[in-house]
């Protein structure tokens, strides 16, 4: 299998917009990173998506949300030179692995027709149907990243999007299934973003200014962390709004104190998460929008027992890491390689998720090891 150029996308639970990034990979090793771009959701688009959060296919507002997602992705991806394949995550609207359901809005077959290239999508359904949490899916990419940057000792990647998710990885172990532990840590940007939108009409706390003006309410932080989720052994995953009810007393505080308290929850939940790891990582490499919030980064530095740095410290792009991950995963799906593992999603055995949609009239490309199922879910490794 020679490396191919894949274009990955991510539209996260923070609802800020769509990331797209190129990666050259064979699905096991990273040969190179390429161009990247971002398209923010317009306020009206964001409201359509917000109105559909928590909804399942066929419910009111879902078709409109899917149209927003597909249109935004098509407009962004046509800016790039035509790739060999696209990894399209879609927009998560609902996630209930305990009921073996997950819903990412957006149809990859639509994008395949628009772009004229194979599109890999619906990455999570196969995993949850087979008893996995369906998230996080980036860990196998994090394992490749750790080896790409020549890490020698265990490190942890912390993605701070709408929720936080952590990957502990041992780069000395070549088998990704044995090298990783991954799970969602707790709320991250989502409750702070919602607070800022409700009180300030702003999509997020720019530079952590609101949180830095407030003071954390320790008793409310403790109350949130008493949720049974934090005692559960990983793997485990969360919906964006999983702590909406538990966090209601925080949201009732004055805005600056509420923001500061949510920041403290984020840091405390990550510290609690690290206690589940096989060993303390050498460093915590932070990606996602939360790494740009100085209040969160300072709180993390004071809460965890290792160095805290943005992923840029090792030459990676924290804005595009998740988009790159779905380009990497797309190639794995096309090769029939597993995308999730017992120690990342809790699935019983390594699973290859995803559907592959080809533009009408095209011939499926010959990819070594690939199993093309004409848009059907891929199961097994």
310-353 per-position pLDDT tens digit: 999 999 999 999 999 999 999 999 999 999 999 999 999 999 98
d(CA 164, CA 342): 19
Rg (CA), the chain: 19
Domain regions of the chain by residue span: 4-136+320-357, 152-314
Q: Do domains 4-136+320-357 and 152-314 have the same CATH topology?
A: yes
- Going by pLDDT thresholds of 50, 70 and 90, the confidence category of residue 362 is low
Residue 37's DSSP bridge partners are 20
- What's the predicted TM-score (pTM) here? 0.87
Closest CA to 235 of 134, 343, 357, 154: 343
User: Is omega for the bond preceding 92 within 30 degrees of 0, making it cis?
Assistant: no
Q: For residue 217, give both structure tokens.
A: 């309410």
* CB neighbour list of residue 332: distance below 8 Å, 6 or more residues apart: 27, 28, 140, 338, 339, 352
pLDDT at 368 over 70: no
Q: What are phi and psi of 310, to 5 degrees?
A: -70, 155
* Token representation of residue 57: 């296919």
Domain 4-136+320-357, CATH number (from 3.30.420.40, 3.30.230.30, 3.40.1010.10, 3.40.109.10):
3.30.420.40
Sign, CA torsion 179/33/315/210: negative
Residue percentage of the chain with pLDDT more than 70: 94
Separation of alpha carbons 116 and 101, rounded Å: 30
**pLDDT at residue number 379:** 24
DSSP code per residue over 214-265: S---HHHHHHHHTSGGGGSPSS----TTTTTTTTHHHHTS-HHHHHHHHHHH
At a CB cut-off of 8 Å and minimum separation 6, what does 364 contact?
118, 356, 358, 370, 372
Phi then psi for residue 232, to 5 deg, are: -70, 140
User: What does the pLDDT read at residue 12?
Assistant: 83
User: Tokens at residue 271, please?
Assistant: 């510290």
Instruction: Grade residue 239 by pLDDT with cuts at 50, 70 and 90.
Output: confident
Give mean pLDDT, residues 37-62: 96
The CATH label, of 3.30.420.40, 3.30.300.30, 3.40.47.10, 1.10.287.3510, for the domain at 152-314 is 3.30.420.40
Phi, psi of 43 (to 5 degrees): -50, -40
pLDDT band at 300 (very low <50, low <70, confident <90, very high): very high
First to last CA, the chain: 16
DSSP state of 139: H
**Per-residue confidence (pLDDT) for residue 238, from 0 to 100:** 85
Cα angle vertex 269, ends 315, 179, to 5°? 50
Q: Is the pLDDT reported for residue 378 higher than 60?
A: no
Q: Distance of CA 56 to CAs 14, 65, 162, 225, 377, Å?
A: 19, 11, 19, 29, 19
Determine phi and psi for 85, rounding to 5 degrees: -160, 160
376 has pLDDT over 60: no
- DSSP state at residue 181: E
Instruction: Calculate mean pLDDT across residues 109-120.
Output: 97
Nearest to 69 by CA among 20, 106, 26: 106
CA angle centred on 170, ends 164 and 173, rounded to 5°:
140
| CA neighbor of 117 nearest in space, from 8, 31, 190, 198 | 8
> What is the reported pLDDT for 344?
94
Phi, psi of 249 (to 5 degrees): -65, -30
Task: Quote the pLDDT of residue 350.
Answer: 95
* Residue 53 per-residue DSSP state: T
């Amino acid at each position: 299998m020679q490396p191919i150029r894949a274009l990955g996308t991510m539209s996260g639970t923070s609802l800020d917009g769509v990331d797209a990034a190129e990666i050259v990979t064979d699905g096991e090793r990273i040969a190179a990173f390429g161009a990247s771009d971002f398209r923010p959701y317009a306020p009206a688009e964001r409201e359509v998506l917000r109105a559909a959060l928590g909804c399942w296919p066929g419910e009111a507002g879902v078709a409109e949300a899917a149209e927003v997602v597909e249109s935004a992705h098509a407009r962004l991806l046509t800016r790039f030179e035509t790739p060999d394949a696209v990894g399209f995550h879609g927009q998560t609207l609902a996630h209930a692995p305990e009921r073996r359901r997950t819903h990412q809005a957006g149809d990859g077959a639509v994008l395949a027709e628009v772009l004229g290239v194979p599109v890999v999508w619906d990455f999570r359904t196969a995993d949850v149907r087979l008893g996995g949490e369906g998230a996080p899916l980036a860990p196998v990419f994090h394992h490749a990243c750790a080896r790409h940057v020549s890490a020698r000792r265990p490190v942890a990647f912390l993605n701070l999007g709408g929720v936080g998710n952590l990957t502990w990885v041992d780069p000395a172990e070549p088998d990704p299934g044995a090298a990783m532990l991954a799970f969602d840590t707790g709320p991250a940007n989502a409750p702070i973003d919602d607070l800022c939108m409700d009180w300030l009409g702003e999509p997020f706390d720019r530079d952590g200014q609101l949180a830095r003006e407030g003071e954390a309410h320790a008793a409310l932080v403790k109350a949130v962390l008493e949720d049974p989720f934090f005692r559960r052994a990983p793997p485990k995953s969360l919906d964006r709004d999983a702590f909406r009810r538990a966090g209601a007393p925080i949201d009732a505080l004055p805005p600056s104190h509420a923001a500061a308290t949510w920041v403290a929850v984020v840091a405390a939940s990550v510290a609690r998460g690290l206690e589940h790891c096989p060993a303390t990582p050498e460093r915590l490499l932070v990606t996602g929008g939360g790494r740009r919030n100085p209040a969160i980064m300072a709180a993390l530095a004071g809460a965890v027992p290792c160095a805290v740095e943005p992923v840029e410290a090792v030459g990676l792009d924290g804005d595009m890491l998740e988009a790159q991950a779905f380009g990497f995963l797309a190639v794995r799906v096309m090769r029939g390689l597993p995308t999730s593992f017992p120690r990342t999603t809790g699935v019983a055995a390594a699973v290859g998720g995803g559907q592959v949609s080809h533009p009408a009239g095209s011939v499926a490309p010959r990819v070594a090891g690939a199993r093309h199922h004409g848009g059907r879910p891929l199961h097994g490794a």
